[in-house]
């Protein structure tokens, strides 16, 4: 796998990962219509516009409750019309895999519904990004346990056609320094690649430790994307 061999259609899909996911592998979760889409609130805060026209913004506004915010991930900065408020946040780097890591020598397990509470607790301790009540339904999650407790996990999030996002790389503070993140990330990458899809992920530019880990496993930066928080005015 090489980011330089991606088709133009795949590059376009990755430029707009939320829209591409909600019209692709997660279309069954999408709320909205042809102009604006969002994930259910208890799955995640991400939403997307078909374009930057006023009709699309009006459609997005109709999907929001007065007390909630959604996040847009876009290739260019956006500005909301009257009636909505945009707050630009730290941009994210989108990284794609260029090779398949070797198999891990550590034992892991596939996590399921019975593990949902423990997964949310671990995400709450480590803050890997938004993790709501049903975020674990976005894809397959794998984890490692110590003395029966969930010590580390990683999973899947957005699913544009032909790709799967690696997400929620979490290690309990009591178990850091054991290379759990490396092994789980490598296994998650291998599983996505084995299914014939391109693994990708998002990371803040300021998270230098995570970037170094991802680069050591063969991920390279493809693009810098804008992250924007959107709420209804007033």
β-pairing, 163-171 with 198-203?
Answer: parallel
pLDDT tens for residues 93-140? 999 999 999 888 888 999 999 999 999 999 999 988 889 999 999 999
Give the predicted TM-score (pTM) of the model.
Answer: 0.94
Low-confidence ranges of the chain (pLDDT < 50): none
Picking from 195, 146, 148, 199, the residue whose alpha carbon sits closest to that of residue 175 is 146
Q: pLDDT tens digits for 223-232?
A: 999 999 999 9
pLDDT at 26: 98
pLDDT number for residue 102: 86
Return the closest-CA partner of residue 97 out of 169, 205, 210, 193: 193
Percent helix / strand / coil, the chain, rounded to 5: 30, 30, 40
pLDDT at residue 3, rounded to an integer: 59
């Amino acid at each position: 796998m090489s980011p330089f061999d991606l088709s133009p259609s795949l590059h376009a899909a990755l430029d707009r990962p939320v829209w591409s996911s909600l019209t692709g592998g997660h279309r069954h979760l999408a709320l909205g219509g042809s102009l604006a889409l969002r994930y259910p609130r208890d799955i995640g805060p991400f939403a997307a516009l078909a374009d930057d026209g006023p009709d699309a913004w009006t459609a997005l506004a109709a999907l929001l409750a007065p007390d909630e915010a959604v996040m847009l991930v876009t290739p260019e900065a956006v500005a909301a019309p009257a009636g909505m408020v945009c707050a630009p946040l730290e941009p994210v780097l989108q990284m794609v895999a260029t090779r398949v890591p070797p198999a891990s020598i550590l034992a892991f397990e596939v996590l399921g519904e019975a593990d949902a509470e423990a997964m949310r607790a671990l995400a709450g301790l480590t803050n890997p990004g938004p993790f709501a009540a049903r975020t674990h339904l976005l894809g397959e999650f794998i984890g490692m346990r110590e003395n029966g407790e969930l010590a580390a996990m990683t999973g899947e999030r957005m699913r544009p056609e032909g790709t799967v996002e690696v997400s929620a790389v979490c290690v309990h503070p009591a178990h850091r320094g054991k290379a759990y993140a490396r092994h789980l990330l490598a296994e998650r990458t291998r599983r996505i690649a084995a299914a014939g899809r391109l693994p990708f992920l998002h990371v803040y530019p300021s998270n230098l430790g995570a970037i170094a880990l991802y680069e050591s496993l063969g991920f390279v930066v493809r693009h810098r994307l804008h992250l924007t928080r959107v709420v209804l005015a007033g």
